[in-house]
Chain A
Amino acid sequence: MLQVEGLAKRYGEVLGLRDLTVKVDEGECLVLLGRNGAGKTTALRCMAGVLLPSAGTVRVDGINAADDPAAVRALVGLMPEVPGLYERMSARAYLDHFGAIYGLEPLLRRRRIDELLETFELTDAGDRWLGTFSKGMRQKVALIRATLHRPRLVLADEPTSALDPDSARRAWIYLKDLQKDGCGLVICTHSMEEAEHMAGEIGIMSDGRALAVGSLDKLRRRSGLKRRRVMRELPTLQDIYLSIVGNLGSNHDGLAETRTA
C-alpha cells in the first residue's frame, strides 16, 4: 500500500530527511519514533503527497506521489500534530466542509459525521463552535476529519498526545478497527505505550535518518539489551529506543540493563 524508497527532503541547505525506506501493507501499522526535529513530520508530509521528495519515491497504492500528488492526497488521511481547526465553525459544519472537499455525498457524510461524533463522545458538542473545544476534543475532531473519507492510509502525527487515557484508548480502538478494515497506518508518537500498543513495525529516527526499522522483537534483538534483572522482564520499547538513539545510561531509572557482548 505504502512504499517509500530512499526518500530524502531538502529545505534549502537543510537536509530534513535522508534515505528513508519503509513499507506499510494493508492493515499494517508503522510507528515512527524519534526526537523533535528527527524528520518524522517531514516524512509524513512527503508520504501524504503534501511535500514532494527531493530524492527517492513515495508510492501509495502504486501511485507515485511525485507524478500525481493530488491522487495520493485523496487516498490518504493526514492528521497533523496541531489540529488546525476553524475556530468559528461548529464541529458538524467543519467536518461537513472537509467531507465535501473529499467529494463525499451530503447524506453519506452526514451519517458518517454522526457516527464518528458518537464514537468519540462528541455528539452533544457537535453544534458548538470549535473555538470553545478543549485540546482533547480538538484532537478528536482532527482525527475524525482525517478519517472521514475512509482513507486507504492514515498518517497521524501524535494522534493522542492531548487525550486523557480513556479517550486515548478509545482512539486506539478506533484506529485498530480501521486497520482491520484494511487501512494502513503510520503514526508518529512520543508515547512508548502507544507505540507498543499500535505498532506492527517501528521506525526509530534521528537527524532525518531511520536508525532502525523492524518489529519490536527485531529491534529488541538489534538493541542487544538483555532481560531486566528485576522481575526478569523483557526490555521495554522505551529501553530499546533509548539504546538505539544512544542515550541509555548503565543505570537508568534504577533498572540495571546490560548489553550483550
Chain B
Amino acid sequence: MGWPKLERRKAAIVARRDLRDAVSELRLIAAMVALTLAIPIASASGVRALAAFGGGTAVVNRLSLVGAFFVVFIPASFSLVLALESFVGERERTTLEVLLSTPLREAEIYAGKVAAVLAVSLSLCYGGLLVYCLITFPGLGYFPLGILVALALSTICQVAAMVAGAVIISINARTMRAANVMASFIILPMSVVLQIEAALILVGRAEFLWGFALLMAVAAVVFLRMGFNGFSREALLARDAGLRQPWRRALTAVRRSFDQRPSLLRLVWARRVPMVIATAGLPAGAFAGYLAGSTNVIPASVVKPVLTSLVRSTDTGNAVEEALAIFSHNVLAFILVAALAILTAGLSGFLLTFAPGFILGFVAALSSWAFALSGIVPNGLVEIPAAIIAGGLAIQIGATAIHMDARGGWTARVLGAVADYVRALRWLVPALAVASVLEVFLG
C-alpha cells in the first residue's frame, strides 16, 4: 500500500490557515514565548549556576542533558493539545464538515493539519533547545552533539506519534471533552516512552538514544499511516447516526463477531502470514539466546537464578499439582498475550514463541543443543504448535488493531480477531493440558 497522492499546494493552504489560527490567540502566543524562552533560560541558568558553584563535572554534564530533555519535552507534549484542537475542535465546531465538502482530498487536509501542528510544536521544541544550548554549553567544555541530535530526532517522532494519535481520537470523539478523556490513551504510553528516554539520557550513551530514536521513527510512521487511513469523510461524517442503545449494540457486536468464524484449520491457513511470523519467532529467539549466552552479553549469573526460580515455582513435589501449575502458567501466558496484543501491536504474540526460543538458545549456549532440546521433548511437540497458533492469532489481533480503514469498522474487525483467538482456545487449552501432563510424566 503506497502513500496517498496529494497536491502540496492544497495541503499548504490548509496548513497556512491552521498555523494562522494557532498563532492568532494571545494566550497561546504568551505560552509559546514562555515555553521557548523562559523555561530554557531558567534550566540553563540552573546548570550554569551548578557549574559555577563547584558541581562535579560528571554531575553537571548529566544535568545539562536532563535539562535539554526537559526543555524539549514540555513543548512536545503541547503538540497533543494543538492536534486535538485542530482535528476534534474543528469537528466539534462543524468547520471540518465545511472543509470536507470542498474538492480537497483527505490526504491534503490530513497532511496540511499535521504539518501545521508539527511546525508549531517543533519550532517551540527546537527554539527552546537552541536557547538552552546557547546558554548552557559555551565554556562548559562539553557538547554532546550525538545525544542532542538523537534527542531532536526522537522528539520529531514523538510529536508525530502524538499528532497521529489525536487524529485517531478525532475519529472516535465528537467533542473536545470526550477527546480530552480519550487523550489518556496517548498520554499514558507516551509518559512511559518519555521515562525510558530520560533513563537513556541519564545513561549518557548516544548509541542507545539513536536506537531509541529509530524505534520512535518506526512507531511514528506506523501511527501517521494509521491516522491517515482512519481520516476519511465517511468516518468523520457518517457516524453521527445509529448511536442509540450502546449496550445493546455492544452485545450485538460481540455476538456477531463469533458468528460464522472459520474452523481452526481454515483459520490457521487464513492467518498463514502471522503464523509464519510466530513460527519464525522460535528460531529467531533461539539464535538470539544462543548469541546472548555464548558472547556473555547477558551474564549466565543473571539468567541462571531466574531459570532456577521458574523451574522451582512449578516443582511442588506432587506430580498432579506440578502438571496443574505448568498448565495454569501456560494458560495465563496465552490469555495475557491476547490481552496485550492490542496494546503492543501484536508484539506479545511474537514474544510467545521468541521468549521460549531465547531461553532454549541460551541454555544451549551454556551446555549443548542436545541437552537444551531434551528439556522440551516430548511436551514441546504439542506446546510449540499451540504457541505458534496462539502467537499468530495474537499478532493478527495486533495488526487488526493498528489497521485503520476509511470505511470504519475498526471495532468489528478487532472483535472478529479476538473472537478467532477465543474460539481457538477451545483447542489450545486442551493441548496445553496434554503438554503439561507429558512434561511431568514423560519429560
**A residues near B17, Cβ cutoff 8 Å:** 86, 89, 97
Chain B, residues 7-26, CB within 8 Å of chain A (1/0): the string is 00010010001001100110
**A residues near B20, Cβ cutoff 8 Å:** 89
Interface flag for B309 (CB, 8 Å) = no
Decide yes or no: A14 and B94 within 8 Å by CB, A51-B234, A101-B103 being known contacts: no
Interface flag for B321 (CB, 8 Å) = no
A142 to B233: give the CA distance in the assembly, Å: 20
Choose one: B10, B24, B100, B242; the contact of A14 (CB below 8 Å): B242
Interface flag for B273 (CB, 8 Å) = no
Interface flag for A197 (CB, 8 Å) = no
Contact A78 B234 (CB under 8 A): no
Contact B242 A11 (CB under 8 A): yes
A55 to B256: give the CA distance in the assembly, Å: 23
**A residues near B96, Cβ cutoff 8 Å:** 84
**From A37, which residue of chain B is reached at the shortest CB distance?**
B241
What number of residue pairs across chains A and B have CB atoms under 8 A from each other? 75
Decide yes or no: A84 and B237 within 8 Å by CB, A73-B101, A145-B98 being known contacts: no
Interface flag for B239 (CB, 8 Å) = yes
Contact B102 A98 (CB under 8 A): yes
Choose one: A51, A87, A101; the contact of B104 (CB below 8 Å): A101
Choose one: B101, B103, B234; the contact of A80 (CB below 8 Å): B101
**B residues near A142, Cβ cutoff 8 Å:** 98
**Dominant secondary structure at the B interface:** helix
**From A16, which residue of chain B is reached at the shortest CB distance?**
B241
**From A97, which residue of chain B is reached at the shortest CB distance?**
B17
Interface flag for A52 (CB, 8 Å) = yes
Chain A, residues 85-112, CB within 8 Å of chain B (1/0): the string is 1111100000001101110000000000
A81 CB to closest chain B CB, in angstroms?
A: 9
**A residues near B24, Cβ cutoff 8 Å:** 88
Interface flag for A74 (CB, 8 Å) = yes
Chain A, residues 132-170, CB within 8 Å of chain B (1/0): the string is 000000000010010000000000000000000000000
**A residues near B241, Cβ cutoff 8 Å:** 11-12, 14, 16
**From B24, which residue of chain A is reached at the shortest CB distance?**
A88
Choose one: B93, B101, B104, B242; the contact of A12 (CB below 8 Å): B242
Contact A84 B103 (CB under 8 A): no
A11 to B234: give the CA distance in the assembly, Å: 9
Interface flag for B238 (CB, 8 Å) = yes
**From B95, which residue of chain A is reached at the shortest CB distance?**
A84
A70 to B105: give the CA distance in the assembly, Å: 7
Interface size bracket, B side: 20 to 34
Interface flag for A212 (CB, 8 Å) = no
Interface flag for A216 (CB, 8 Å) = no
A80 to B237: give the CA distance in the assembly, Å: 12
Chain B, residues 70-102, CB within 8 Å of chain A (1/0): the string is 000000000000000000000001111110111
**From A48, which residue of chain B is reached at the shortest CB distance?**
B101
Contact A78 B101 (CB under 8 A): yes
A79 CB to closest chain B CB, in angstroms?
A: 9
B249 CB to closest chain A CB, in angstroms?
A: 8
**A residues near B94, Cβ cutoff 8 Å:** 80, 82-84
A73 to B104: give the CA distance in the assembly, Å: 8
Decide yes or no: A86 and B95 within 8 Å by CB, A11-B238, A50-B237, A51-B233 being known contacts: yes
Interface flag for A124 (CB, 8 Å) = no
Choose one: B25, B100, B239; the contact of A88 (CB below 8 Å): B25
**B residues near A97, Cβ cutoff 8 Å:** 13, 17
Nearest 7 pairs between A and B by C-beta? A14-B242, A84-B94, A11-B241, A74-B103, A78-B101, A84-B98, A73-B103
25 interchain pairs, CB-CB under 8 A: A12-B239, A45-B237, A48-B101, A50-B101, A51-B238, A70-B104, A70-B105, A74-B103, A80-B97, A80-B101, A82-B94, A82-B97, A83-B94, A84-B96, A85-B98, A86-B21, A88-B24, A89-B17, A89-B21, A97-B13, A97-B17, A100-B13, A101-B10, A101-B103, A101-B104
Residues of A within 8 A of B (CB): 9, 11-14, 16, 45, 48, 50-52, 70-71, 73-74, 76, 78, 80, 82-89, 97-98, 100-102, 142, 145
